[in-house]
Amino acid sequence: MNCSLVNLALRGLLAAVFTLVPLSAWAQFDKQAWPAKTASPVLNLQDLQGRMWTSAALKGRVVVLNFWATWCAPCKEEMPTLQDLHDSPQPPVVIAVNVKEPKSRVQAFLNQRNLSLPVVLDERGDLARQWGVRVYPTTVLIAPDGQARWRVLGDLDWDGLQAEAWIKDLQRLR
């Protein structure tokens, strides 16, 4: 009798695991709150076109700071949606930070895909370390007060309803 109860419990557990595994496979991103009482690193960036992006200049704007690499398949999928977000009617500031790749490779990637959003090179990975990036892509959503609010690990459809709702929530904080 005990043996059959254990067997039944095991079957139930396995059924639950196999039911949940396919659901988790669909999850492409993980949205995490920025750690409480942790200040956002100061931004002082120059993009490939020579434009400067500083924390002071970005004050009052929602910022989408995306860390990526050309070898990263999810980054490649996500990049066109970041471009769409950048091109949207009331866009947040979208800055793509390429980590540890040569300028020539990054520029070729952007040219092949007709991408024109601001791109910053993080040649040594210092910026990624400051922002706690360990997974690509990682996107940090920064509120108009300059404080990071969320970190999104993995790729997301940035011109989709989910991202639109997050950005509108941040824009209301002005």
pLDDT in tens, 63-113: 999 999 999 999 999 999 999 999 999 899 999 999 999 999 999 999 999
- Length of the chain as a residue count: 174
With a cut of 60, say whether residue 21 has pLDDT above it: no
Q: What's the CA gap between 58 and 93, in Å, rounded? A: 8
The yes-or-no verdict on residue 20 having pLDDT over 50 is no
At 9 the pLDDT is 53
The two tokens of residue 47 are: 């993009």
Tokens read off for 1 = 């009798």
Q: What 3-state class would DSSP assign to 141?
A: strand
Q: What is the pLDDT of residue 17?
A: 44
User: Which two structure tokens, joined as six digits, stand for 164?
Assistant: 């639109």
For residue 160, the 8-state DSSP code is S
| pTM of the complete model | 0.82
pLDDT reported for residue 148: 95
- Read off φ and ψ for residue 61, nearest 5 degrees: -120, 150
Instruction: Extract the tokens encoding 29.
Output: 């991103």
Q: Which two tokens stand for residue 108?
A: 């070729």
* Res. 28 pLDDT band, cuts 50 70 90: confident
End-to-end CA distance of the chain: 65
Domain boundaries, the chain: 28-171
CB-based contact 150:166 (threshold 8 Å):
yes
pLDDT of residue 13: 52
The predicted model gives 123-131 an average pLDDT of: 95
Binned at pLDDT 50, 70 and 90, residue 27 comes out as very low
**Cα separation values, 84 from 89, 91, 115, Å:** 10, 9, 10
C-alpha span between 155 and 81 (Å, rounded): 10
> What is the CATH code for 28-171?
3.40.30.10
C-beta of residue 117 within 8 angstroms of C-beta of residue 65: no
